[in-house]
A and B are shown apart, each in its own frame.
Chain A
Amino acid sequence: MKVLALYSIKGGVGKTAAAVNLAHTAAEEGVRTLLLDLDAQGAASFYFRVRARRKSTVDRLLEDRDRVQRAIRATDYEHLDILPAHESFRRLERALDAVKKSRSRLARMLKPQRREYDLVVIDCPPTLTLVAEAVFRAADLVLVPVVPTTLSERTLDMLRREFKEQGLPRERLRAFFSLVDRRKRLHRDMLEDLPRRSKVAFCRSPIPVSSDIERMGLGREPVTRFAPQSAGALAVLELWWEVRRALGMRD
């Protein structure tokens, strides 16, 4: 079982859409996938129309593995289940701090899922605190959406230093361009220059800003489902191939 985390310290960069679309694409290939919606806003859960059980609160999930089992629900797609966000996930930071061995807690929580899933995709909350640290430790690959702007470059570098301070391997961190608008000069330049400059490895497939992806919220379906031939969906597919290779999963 491999763990892929979608992480961004900034909101609105296409992180949740990427998590949803990548998870769906993997499942379509027959990879048994669990999407873990840790973002209290619950956008990923919303896309899949799944509500959390009332009792699946963050405190219970952290203390009881059986709770985790019961909190997982099927999506409408084969091979794809989700652990939906519960409103209590807003307290995730505090709850995690309250338990022993907080930093490795998430990794241990996921361990029993090895029997049922080949891949766990985590949609992380936009924080750079204990939760992020726990996710970084649990993940085999931390994938960071980067909108091609100057500010994003600085944020990415901050994250790289954070990884270094925590003693995490740099290979675990990977960036991809998100919300790319090729009509903008700046975007085209950044696409060209940033991967060369940055100490963080970049995926080669940028995800374009796309009306189809924006429409995901209306139809509440992954773009790879309702418009599989759209530029957005095809970009996701190429990104998935790169991620799959980076995770060392079979073609």
Chain B
Amino acid sequence: MKLTTEDVERVARLARLELSADETERYTTELTAILSFVEGLQAVDTTGVAPTSYITDELDELRADDVVQIDAGERAQLIDAFPVSKADLLVVPPVFSNYKA
């Protein structure tokens, strides 16, 4: 599996990572080596084998869809954890790039 710098740039964009030219170069080499190694799995005959996505004997469990109140202190802590806030509100960047506040 040989990746190109374009492959890495595309994957980085999808994952919301911004890479410098140097980083792109380095990750192209590293990811090519890693993917070539894990590609060795293609050699395993998995005909008729079911995939395992998780390991548990439990069945899906449902709970009542109840509103759970939190106290004022916890609410204040959550707001305090906002990276940027205005009064009690979380400030977020505009979703549409042509939007002017």
**Do A and B assemble together?**
no
A-to-B contact residues, CB < 8 Å: none
